[in-house]
Amino acid sequence: MTPLVLLAVFVGGGAGASCRYGVGRFVGERYGGDFPLGTYLINVSGCFLLALLASLLPATNANTTWLLALLGTGFLGGFTTFSTYALEGVLLFLDGNHRLTVLSLLGSIAAGLVAAAAGAAVARLITAV
Partner 1 sequence: MRRVLLVFLGGGVGATLRALLLWQLAGWDSYLPASVLLVNLIGAFVLGMIFVLADEAGLLRAGTRLFLAVGVLGGFTTFSTFGWGIDLLVGSGQSPAALIYLVASVVGGVLAVALGMMAAREAVGLLERGALAVLQRLNARGRRRFGDVRVDMASIEAENRDGMR
- Cβ 63 to partner 1, closest distance in Å? 19
Do residues 17 and 82 touch, judged by C-beta distance below 8 A? no
> What's the closest the beta carbon of residue 74 comes to partner 1, in angstroms?
5
The sign of the torsion formed by the CA atoms of 22, 24, 26, 29 equals negative
> What is the rounded radius of gyration, in angstroms, for the C-alpha atoms of the chain?
16
Residues 7-46 that bind partner 1 (CB under 8 A): 9-18, 20-22, 24, 42-43, 46
| Closer Cβ to partner 1, 17 or 37, answer by number | 17
Tell me which of 36, 51, 68, 100 binds partner 1, using CB under 8 A: 51
Query: Are 100 and 35 in contact, with CB atoms under 8 Å apart?
Result: yes
Residues in region 82-121 near partner 1 by CB under 8 A: 82-87, 89-91, 93, 105-106, 108-109, 112-113, 115-117, 119-120
Note whether 74 binds partner 1 by CB under 8 A: yes
Task: Kindly give the residue spans of alpha helices, DSSP state H, lying in 57-96.
Answer: 65-68, 77-79, 83-94
